[in-house]
Structure 1
Amino acid sequence: MTTATGVPQAGGGRAWGQVPEELSARVPAEQRGPGRDRDSVRLLVSRGVPVSHHAFVELPGELRAGDLLIVNTSATLAAAVDGWLGHARVVVHFSTRGDDGRWAVELRDPDGRGTTRARAGGPAGTVVRLPGAVPLVLEEPLSARGPRLWWARVPDTDVPGLLRRHGRPIRYSYTERDQPLSVYQTVFALPCADGGGSAEMPSAARPFTARLVAELVSRGVQFAPVTLHTGVASAEAHEPPYPERYEVSAVSARLINAARAGGGRIIAVGTTAVRAVESATGTDGLVRAARGWTGLVVTPERGVRAVDGLLTGLHEPEASHLLMLEAIAGGAAIDRGYAEALRARYLWHEFGDVHLILPEEGPHSEHCVRN
């Protein structure tokens, strides 16, 4: 299937079918019983044909000295704020801050189970009243794809401060209840000096704990931090991602290039880390320092240039992220892994289980495309 923008889209007709509602992770792992921590999730490991089942705390045994994990340091914002459109209550999702001070926002209707009903924005000039009688003025659609996201201006207002005072983390109806912002921060999250961050948590890194990171380092696994501030995902339409702000430092670029030269595997923690590092990688396969906006969509046709493997959550069959997974491992391997995840009743979404995709090894290995 291809979108109107010409970007291939993962379809719903996959061999492994739809995900039953009961497989949605409704609360974080540490709230599912006594003695549990963030790392108390399951880990599905795919190496081409072989698929194996593990606890996430066994991750160090699946990696080896010299491997390098690329991690996203973007902190999650309290990006959902209640507002009023006339006499109607709405919820504003603050997605992305533009270079001109405007914010890309999404309006949604509250339903008591998370802000799950999408609402078309506009027309231009529409004013939403935020807490403290602060006006938010819709100016123009973010893109021609549709009216979901709009550029909006909040005159004379410190938006990061507004989010700290009145915001809460974005959540959807498959979760049980609102959670404190700390639940949505990963161990790698760093506050941004300008108040920026991610509208939604870079959730693949959520199961990591300081204890597990220390064990990985002690075994010779390296880490390279990058930053990509995620926007609001399309919960209904499964659109390809919009442009997002990213940075890959010179230090991280050197670490990645050196690890590859030394025979280590480059494994991204999350699709956001893939998008950031692939945006900074040339056709020669070398990663260079880069920052700015990336509109890159990784597809099987484009392939990957720097990344060998991926640690990620489980995605719905319509999700555009599955194209990235196929670019790394191939469609057949992804379908096998997901069919096994369904059979073994793994949990989906940001509080769910995770999937480690490693390159197939041996004389018949298939290597990812780097063009």
Structure 2
Amino acid sequence: MPMKTSDFNYDLPVELIAQDPLEDRSASRMMYMDKETGELKDEIFTEVIDHLREGDCLVLNDTKVIPARLYGTKKDTGALIEVLLLTRKQNDVWETLVRPGKKCKIGTEIVFGEEGLMTGKVIDVTEDGNRFIQFSYEGIFEEILDRLGEMPLPPYIKHKLQDKTMYNTVYAKNDGSAAAPTAGLHFTKELLEKISAKGVKIAHVTLHVGLGTFRPVKVDDVTQHKMHSELYIVEEDQAKIINDTKAAGGRVICVGTTSCRTLESATDENGILQPGSAWTNIFIYPGYTFKIMDGLITNFHLPESTLIMLVSAFAGKDKVMHAYETAVEKKYRFFSFGDAMMII
């Protein structure tokens, strides 16, 4: 029997989609699931510490979301153009998503900011319609982006974000994501300090999250879906922390599906995490054998998404779909600014 995308569907009332972040990041609810039995418990996120043991390792994705949504005008006509930065290439060139795309042929020039603070020129178009834009500006690109750009919130969030920092984790440091690794949004610096004081090691990896995260699975047969590629980086000292944890019998607990995909991409067949940087398009769905991850902290994901498939691969599809139905009944908050789930 082929695995169907519709097997990962569930009914979600629209009012359960969280529109705003909580003021206190760690005050969200958390559903704890025992991976073996499927038993569920309702908790508060700060109780995450009770499930961590001395000698465990918590793996965080320290990517930083950039204000990647820009609004500009066509130089020749003044028409409004929306540009979403996807992937940084060399020489100030970015792969972007442009709306309306039809008006932006090769050679089109776009002006950003009232004083023409930055300009962009379309230099190429990909097969799927993305535009390569070369930017020209004076000064530091990140500072200009901070002035001109907006946070690229997911399409299901309709509210405007009042505080840009709330769509980044407290440990975000490497610029490059178009979307947040949202499981990490629940952590405060104080909670991480308490976890560390308990003897839990904390390791950082980087995976720059692309908008493909929100791309729906459009094929009926799950195995036919093609994942987008994302850049990951695993530093040598961080790989050592994680490998030493495994060697000493500790558990490796990933914060978010992005940390999980990084580790599973960079781990060899012997279960040893290899340092380095590469592009990954790993697609984890039921039937996958995990090489290194022992536990997962994650949010509640969209129906029929690759993310709910990854969680199902780890904890079992029936258990996960039952947990989601329970979360809907108990009115948990869903998606990026929603509540958390911990599976060990």
TM-score bracket, normalised by the shorter chain, equals 0.7 to 0.9
Is 1:129 the counterpart of 2:111? The answer is yes
Is 1:154 the counterpart of 2:135? The answer is yes
Please identify which structure carries the higher helix content: 2
Counterparts of 2:156 and 2:314, CA distance in 1? 31
Is 1:88 the counterpart of 2:79? The answer is yes
Task: Name the structure 2 match of 1:369.
Answer: none
Structure 1, unmatched stretches of 5+, are 3-7, 31-36, 110-118, 359-371
Task: Name the structure 2 match of 1:167.
Answer: 149
Counterparts of 2:7 and 2:180, CA distance in 1? 28
Task: Name the structure 2 match of 1:180.
Answer: 163
Cα distance change on mapping 1:127 and 1:248 into 2, 3 Å: same
Task: Name the structure 1 match of 2:202.
Answer: 223
Match of 2:45 among 40, 56, 63: 56
Q: How does 1:263-302 map to 2 (within 5 A)?
A: 263-302=249-288
| TM-superposed deviation, 1:107 | 2.4
Task: Name the structure 2 match of 1:40.
Answer: 27
Contact 1:224 1:255 in 2 (8 A): yes
Counterparts of 1:243 and 1:26, CA distance in 2? 28
| TM-superposed deviation, 1:13 | 4.7
Contact 2:91 2:134 in 1 (8 A): no
Cα distance change on mapping 1:56 and 1:318 into 2, 3 Å: same
| TM-superposed deviation, 1:25 | 0.8
Helix, strand or coil for the counterpart of 1:29? coil
Cα distance change on mapping 1:279 and 1:235 into 2, 3 Å: closer
Letter in structure 1 aligned against 2:323: G
Cα distance change on mapping 1:151 and 1:298 into 2, 3 Å: farther
Helix, strand or coil for the counterpart of 2:53? coil
TM normalised by structure 2 equals: 0.86
| TM-superposed deviation, 1:293 | 2.3
Counterparts of 1:62 and 1:101, CA distance in 2? 45
| TM-superposed deviation, 1:242 | 2.3
Helix, strand or coil for the counterpart of 2:324? helix
Match of 2:229 among 235, 240, 243: 243
RMSD, matched Cα: 2.6
Counterparts of 1:234 and 1:272, CA distance in 2? 10
Is 1:11 the counterpart of 2:5? The answer is yes
Query: For residues 48-78 of structure 1, what are the alpha-carbon distances to aligned partners after superposition, in whole Å with 9 as ceiling and x for unaligned?
Result: 3211110001111122222211101112211
Task: Name the structure 2 match of 1:68.
Answer: 57
Helix, strand or coil for the counterpart of 2:131? strand
Match of 2:343 among 321, 345, 357: 357
Letter in structure 1 aligned against 2:66: L
Letter in structure 2 aligned against 1:61: D
Query: For residues 59-115 of structure 1, what are the alpha-carbon distances to aligned partners after superposition, in whole Å with 9 as ceiling and x for unaligned?
Result: 111222222111011122111111124443232111221245421211247xxxxxx
| Higher alpha-carbon deviation: 122-131 or 331-340 | 122-131
| TM-superposed deviation, 1:206 | 0.6
TM normalised by structure 1 equals: 0.80
Is 1:200 the counterpart of 2:179? The answer is yes
| TM-superposed deviation, 1:175 | 3.8
Counterparts of 1:90 and 1:252, CA distance in 2? 41
Match of 2:96 among 76, 101, 105: 105
| TM-superposed deviation, 1:327 | 2.4
Task: Name the structure 1 match of 2:329.
Answer: 343
- Identity of aligned pairs, percent? 28
Task: Name the structure 2 match of 1:5.
Answer: none
| TM-superposed deviation, 1:212 | 0.9
Cα distance change on mapping 1:18 and 1:153 into 2, 3 Å: farther
| Higher alpha-carbon deviation: 237-246 or 19-28 | 237-246
Cα distance change on mapping 1:120 and 1:289 into 2, 3 Å: farther
Letter in structure 2 aligned against 1:339: E
Contact 1:90 1:108 in 2 (8 A): yes
Contact 1:18 1:316 in 2 (8 A): no
| TM-superposed deviation, 1:287 | 0.5
Contact 1:298 1:304 in 2 (8 A): no
Counterparts of 1:324 and 1:141, CA distance in 2? 32
Match of 1:79 among 56, 59, 68: 68
Contact 1:107 1:121 in 2 (8 A): no
Counterparts of 2:104 and 2:62, CA distance in 1? 33
Task: Name the structure 1 match of 2:18.
Answer: 25
Letter in structure 1 aligned against 2:5: G
Structure 2, unmatched stretches of 5+, are 219-225
